[in-house]
Amino acid sequence: MKNYIQLFSLSVFSILFLNAKSQDLHFSQFNENPSLINPALTGAAHVIRASAIYKDQWRSITVPYKTFGASFEMKFKASAWDKVGNHETEKYKKAFNRLAGGLSFYSDKAGDGSMGTTHVNLSLATFIPVNKKSSISVGLQASVVQKKVDYTKFIWPDQYNGSTYDASAASGESYTTNNFIYPDFAGGLLYTYGYNEKAIGANNQFRFEFGVSMYHLASPKLKYLSQTSERLYSKQNVHAKCLVGIRNTNVSLMPSFLFSYQGATKEMIEGIMIRHSFKDDSKYTGFIKASTFSYGGFYRNKDAFIAVVQMEFAQYSIAFSYDINTSKLTKVSGFRGGPEITLRFVSPSPYLYQKSKAKFN
């Protein structure tokens, strides 16, 4: 009897936790997933960017929640990002050629019921220069989303007959479908300010970005149960990050935060990364490749501390993070949340010293 009660409680917890905390896909390394944060981030930092990510969560409690994804984005006609001239009309006319696009894919499977979500997102952003050091971008995203669930794996109150659990008993629930697809839309704004180092090895670069976005603009209807009108709440994001080079050292500071609001659910992640540069790319030949090592921590409010390490070598990057659970769930989780790993490729190398590379930022 005790085992049945524990099993039932765990199943109920899984459903409630999924609805309350995970209405949307989310990663601890949120800066590595721009299409999930703000469509206006598309192409904001690199000419070409490709990445893949995998997250494994709550393995210490139940069937693990597994999330993975991949994305690709690029600036269109990067040469058009050069400043045309001193006349505002010319500059702003050219600015509308400053377009970037991206394609991303994410898939998530959660809990005993294998509740799954698959996203295919197409993003587009345009960048309007304010002056030589700052710009504003507007982004739009269109998505196709599939949701599915295996109802036979859930445990329901009507299947408890007063003394034992009977898996063959009717659940008492009215299902509409276990698989449905719907379109989804998002939009966002981003302000960016920054400049590159003035001389090789000076490490006096600075970059700041602040953005707001809204997802699920049409509040799509969820079709899990019949005779319900439940819709997916719209989601609002506010985010910012900064890169500050400590002059004449090999250290840079990278603080950032993300605040998300969706229905009754609020999530705040804030923290900082500390980056150490081992060497710069060679100025002329390109034979010497830059490498950096970063480490830091983030805190997800009332949920977890996130430890992060990242290694970058020229155009390649690998990052690993681990969620250390700090909520009341620690009684069963033993502080174990889950690991997350990201692989990334960008072009051109972000560490190549050249004053002209400002045209790509």
- Out of 3.30.450.30, 3.40.190.10, 2.40.160.40, 3.40.50.2300, which CATH number does the structure's domain 2-353 have? 2.40.160.40
Residue 341 to residue 138: CA distance in whole angstroms: 29
Average pLDDT of the residues in 155-177? 75
At 233, is the secondary structure helix, strand, or coil?
Answer: coil
Tokens of 179: 């698989």
CB under 8 Å to 216, separation ≥6 — which residues? 184, 185, 186, 232, 233, 234, 235
Asked whether 242 and 266 are in contact (CB, 8 A), the reply is no
Which residues on adjacent β-strands are paired with residue 122?
103, 142
Q: What is the DSSP letter of 7?
A: H
Average pLDDT of the residues in 41-59? 89
Which of 74, 119, 137 lies closest to 101 in space, CA to CA? 74
- Is the dihedral angle over the CA atoms 194, 275, 272, 318 positive or is it negative? positive
Q: Which amino acid is at 136?
A: I
**DSSP H helical ranges for the chain:** 2-21, 34-37, 88-95, 330-333
Q: Residue 331, Cβ neighbours under 10 Å: how many?
A: 7
Domain extents in the chain: 2-353
Residue 70 to residue 204: CA distance in whole angstroms: 33
| Rounded CA Rg of the chain | 23
Report pTM: 0.81
Q: What is the pLDDT of residues 219-247, one digit of tens each?
A: 988 877 766 778 889 999 999 999 999 98
Average pLDDT of the residues in 111-125? 86
Q: What is the pLDDT of residues 61-113, one digit of tens each?
A: 666 788 999 999 999 876 655 544 444 444 444 555 689 999 999 998 876 66
pLDDT bucket at 18, cuts 50 / 70 / 90: very low
Which of 252, 216, 221, 203 lies closest to 119 in space, CA to CA? 216
Q: Which residue has the higher pLDDT, 272 or 86?
A: 272
In this model, does residue 282 exceed pLDDT 70? Answer: no
- Spell 110-122 as b/e; 16+ CB within 10 A means b: bbbbebbbbbebb
Q: What percent of the chain has pLDDT over 70?
A: 73
Chain CA centroid to CA 299, Å: 15
pLDDT at res. 343: 97
DSSP secondary structure of 42-80: TTSS-SEEEEEEEEEE-TTTSSPEEEEEEEEEEEESGGG
